[in-house]
Amino acid sequence: MRSLLKLLSLIGLLATIVPSFLVFIGVMTLDNNKLIMVFGTILWFATAPFWMNKKV
């Protein structure tokens, strides 16, 4: 369960940063980038609190 949460958090972070580089190289619009960033933000904050700051 913990590994799955970490994976989802990672996807959240990737969704936050990767699309901006796609905008930079001209294969994505800025509006789509903004939309995916919101998705990444929700995914990060919905999953990270369940594994960050927790002792193994």
Partner 1 sequence: MAQIHITEQLDAVEEFEQKPVPVSKLKSWKSFLGMYAGEHTAGTEFVIGPLFVAHGASANDIVWGLLVGNLLAVLSWAFLTGPIAVKERVTLYYLLEKISGKKLTTVYNLVNALMFCFLAGSMIAVSATAVGIPFGLTMPTLNDWFPNSVGWIVAVVAVGAVTTVVAMFGYNLVSKFANIASPWMILVFLASAVAVLPELGVHSLSDFWARANDTIWTGTPMEGQSQFTFWHIMFFAWFANMAMHIGMADLSILRYAKKWYYGFNSGAGMFLGHYMAWMASGILYALFLKETSFSTEFAPGPVAYRAAGIAGALTVIIAGWTTANPTIYRAGLALQAIRPKWKTWKVTLVVGLITTLASVFPALVMKLLNFVALYGLILMPMGAVIMMDEYIIPKLNLSRKYAETFNKSFNLAAAVAWGVTLLFSIWLNLTFGVEVFFLGLPGWFVASALYLVTSYFIQKNKIKGGIE
Question: Counting contacts by CB under 8 A, is residue 23 touching partner 1?
Answer: yes
For the CB of residue 17, give the shortest distance to partner 1 in the complex, in Å. Answer: 4
For the CB of residue 9, give the shortest distance to partner 1 in the complex, in Å. Answer: 9
| Cβ-Cβ contacts under 8 Å for 47 (sequence gap 6 or more) | 5, 6, 8, 9, 12
From residue 16, how far is each of 22, 24, 50, 52, 53 by CA, in Å? 12, 14, 19, 18, 21
Query: Which chain residues interact with partner 1 by CB under 8 A?
Result: 12-13, 16-17, 19-21, 23-24, 26, 30-31, 33-35, 37-38, 40-41, 44-45, 48-49, 52-53
